[in-house]
A and B are shown apart, each in its own frame.
Chain A
Amino acid sequence: MDEDVLKVIDSRELGRRLQEARKASGRTQQDVADHLGIARTTVTAIEKGDRRIQPGELIRLASFFGRSVGEFLRQSQPAAPFAVQLRAALSPTADIDQQIAPGLLEFQRLCEDYVELETLCRAPLQHAYPNPYDILGLAPELAAEDVAVAERNRLGLGDGPLLSLRQVLGNDVGLRIFFIELPPRIAGMFAYTEQFGGCIAVNRNHPPERGRLTLAHDYAHFLSKRFQPEVTPIGRYERLPDHERFADAFARNFLLPAAGLRRRFHELQRSRDQRVTPADLCTLAHHYFVSVEALARRLEELRLLPLGTWDRLAARGFRVREAQALLQLTPHQAAESELPMRYLYLAAEALERGDLSEGQFARFVRLDRLAARELALQLSSGSMLDSDGTLTTLPLDLGASLAGPGARSSA
């Protein structure tokens, strides 16, 4: 067996992970001390890395926190603890601090897992990050419009609907994007570190349209103030600060670009003899994959609808879901998956090569054993034997070189 892992591991890093797990589980150092039957000062020393933890203590603590032992022993580079920065960014709304702690830790763990998979598969995430946009001293709404146009141009998105927002920001920009469990009052959060790059977590329980707005909002934070982590609560501010006004306006401009929206709206008006109906709003909102409210307010902002149109519709009891059902507007997709597709493919590749065990794979993809097997089958081959013994699909070797048999390594 290898050298004693508890003797060679960075005890400060291990202590930090234990402390984070303790906080995420809502337990105090005294709780831990009582559970292990040791003094609280010893727990402090373990968390500081001043006292090496014993194997039995680590096993009992992992169980106490509902974690696997392996999570505390990972060999990856120590992570910049952005969960701590995010918690600080949330201040002074301390009432939800404890509720969000598990989400913060899960966000950080997902980023660590993603990087670990990339290391295992030797496939680092490619970044196409622009230089941060300097918006200091500019009117937030005007700056947001300029930045949204610039980003759409940079990414070759034109001025039409952007249905694959997550894929564009994940694959083309190189952000790490997760849809995770967060308290209802938290829309999402953003963090950036040298190690992880830009990372965004979106509340998976919010409607998909709202999730897209959150994603675009947090992308604005990445574009303007990437070194400042942000938690985006709902209804936190009585008066929005400039950076939040910028992020909100950017999201509207990015998802509903003025030029394209004006053109489509004018075409709609011409075809309707200037009489645009609530049904048209529903259809157009579906076309852009945004909420009807977001579309209506954007049209008001562009002076294409009279101010107060949405408020009047809402006051009259306009029921969006019923209208969408009547119009047979099928949802674009089921809820976003928690993990990016690239993450899942990397995990499947690592399993196929034997770089991850089946149990580790299940933990990385956040599934139980059988569901993880089903996912691995789906991702890596999809092959099963028919009852007549025929192997029906060709296994896909995710780790194979595509350079061809005659190609020489560039190394």
Chain B
Amino acid sequence: MSDGPLNAESRVRLLVLLDACCLLNLCATRLIEDILRALPLRFAVADRAAAEVRYLRRGGAGLDADVREPVDSQPLVAAGLLEVLAFAMTDEEASFVQFAANIDDGEAMTCALAWHRQAAVATDDLKTLRIVRSLIPPLPTYTTAGLLRQWADGQQVAGPDLKRVLLNIQERARFVPGRHDPLRSWWLAAMREG
């Protein structure tokens, strides 16, 4: 599975492990609760990845645009929209060590938990995407742009509203999809047309 429409009638929602980069981006939207609630998926984050998401910029055009605003994912957890996961078995720890030889700890834990829990990985990181897509079988993957596009299409968010969300990510999390991201052109078009 990859970015694209999901079967809304699916009885068991797919678990998606958000990597730190995706969680940072979604928090920057200021609409993360709406987004996680609207998508037909379940979301979780590895505790090591969650620990890396500490703050965002305030954003906007004011003089205080660069001020740090702490990220608190606790309300998402309390609302049942996000689960923070720890290792539950030694196999997960062993896989984590395998992944950690090639990527950083937060990314490695995300991949290890996804591998053992039949979950998808949401990441914008090129190296992590390469690794999870090269597994046999490959893990399903999402990107920030993929999740946002699915949310925008499903909720019919477009024009200035969508542009505001993308601009928040750019200003507050300093993120624009990279050249490797197939949805980069969608993102750029939404910014131009909004």
Contacts and interface: CB of A to CB of B under 8 A. Distances in A.
Interface of A: 1-2, 4-6, 55-56, 58-59, 62, 68-70, 73, 75, 353-360, 362-363, 368-370, 373-374, 377, 383-385, 387-391, 395
B101 A5 contact: yes
Contacts of B193: 389
Given A355-B127, A370-B173, A5 B53 contact: no
A128 to B, nearest CB: 34
Contacts of B57: 370
B173 to A, nearest CB: 7
Contact of B105 (A1, A69, A387): A69
Contact of A370 (B96, B98, B108, B174): B174
B136 to A, nearest CB: 9
B7 interface: no
A62 B180 CA distance: 33
Interface in B72-102: 87, 90, 93-102
A6 B60 CA distance: 48
A67 B8 CA distance: 42
Contacts of B176: 383-385
Contacts of B191: 385, 389
Contacts of A55: 90, 93-94, 96-97
Q: Size class of B's contact patch?
A: 35 or more
Looking at chain B's contact residues, the main secondary structure is: helix
B101 A73 contact: yes
A2 to B, nearest CB: 6
Which 8 A-B residue pairs are closest in the complex by CB-CB distance? A359-B104, A354-B126, A389-B192, A389-B191, A357-B127, A69-B100, A73-B101, A357-B103
B188 interface: yes
Contact of A391 (B24, B100, B188): B188
Contacts of B124: 358
Residue among A353, A363, A370 with max Cβ neighbours from chain B (10 Å): A370
Nearest to A384: B170
15 contacts: A1-B95, A4-B98, A55-B90, A59-B87, A69-B108, A359-B103, A359-B106, A360-B104, A369-B54, A370-B174, A373-B174, A383-B176, A384-B174, A385-B170, A389-B192
